[in-house]
Amino acid sequence: MRAVTDPDLTSSNAAPRQQAPSRRPLDRIAFVASARPEAREALHRLRHRYGSHPLEGADVIVALGGDGLMLDTLRAQMQHGLPVFGLNRGTVGFLMNDYGEDDLPERLAAARATIIHPLRMRATTVSGAVEERFAINEVSLLRQTHQTAMLRIHIDGAVRMDQITCDGAMVATPAGSTAYNLSAHGPVLPIGCGLLALTPISVFRPRRWRGALLRGGSAVRFEILEPKLRPVSASADSQEVRDVAMVDIQEERARGMMVLFDPDRSLDERMLAEQFES
């Protein structure tokens, strides 16, 4: 997935980025909330204060919860394209704005947009079934038992690593590079950089391999070696497919989702700050 922001979020000497489409007025709000008590309480108060429209008649979605709710909401909006403005009623809230109940229409009008393109995962199981899922943060492969995973990595049709023995591996988007990818010592990718991070998890052999940076349009294939002896699962964000034999991953440029941020809380700034936290 590649993410791009409005040009006015960047300095005048920054590399040009794809411009977010012009936005219609965001007057009709649809609220959604996670199951957390604080999110449900906020949902009741905000609906009472600002009213609420059904999704099919709304201009914007305000999501109350954490990053998990934001990911679920964005996946649900792939076909419809409604912008999503998150208010943090969860834990980390990296993709959310600070919670506040005042001046919500003014915040929506002033918000800056980031366009996110997801990864498409096509997983083939050992039984021959094919499962397709979409990921906003990353597609990850993990061993299912005490046996290490053995993978072969293809990039754009060519074998780039004949065998890697590890706990797993992932392909992360720029917007997802500060999540699981960063915990696995993968690189943080700036928004709009046009890259994906291929990051291994607990590598045994080759011991010094730390992953690779790929262009955003790369077609990645993981071939699972000895999949019955060494079973592996594949997950597109939280959507898991077990006992996979092969996993194909590619950015889905035809699908885009608009995430809204307060001007002082842009995703660019958060990702930059994340790299300097102690």
Q: Which of 67, 237, 248, 268 is labelled catalytic?
A: 67
Residue pair 43/31 in contact by the 8 Å Cβ criterion: yes
Chain centroid to Cα 257, Å, comes to 11
Look up 67 and say whether it is catalytic.
Answer: yes
Q: Between the CA of residue 278 and those of 182, 194, 273, what are the distances in Å?
A: 14, 27, 10
Residue pair 243/126 in contact by the 8 Å Cβ criterion: yes
Query: Partners of 60 in the beta sheet?
Result: 29
Q: Which residues are catalytic?
A: 67
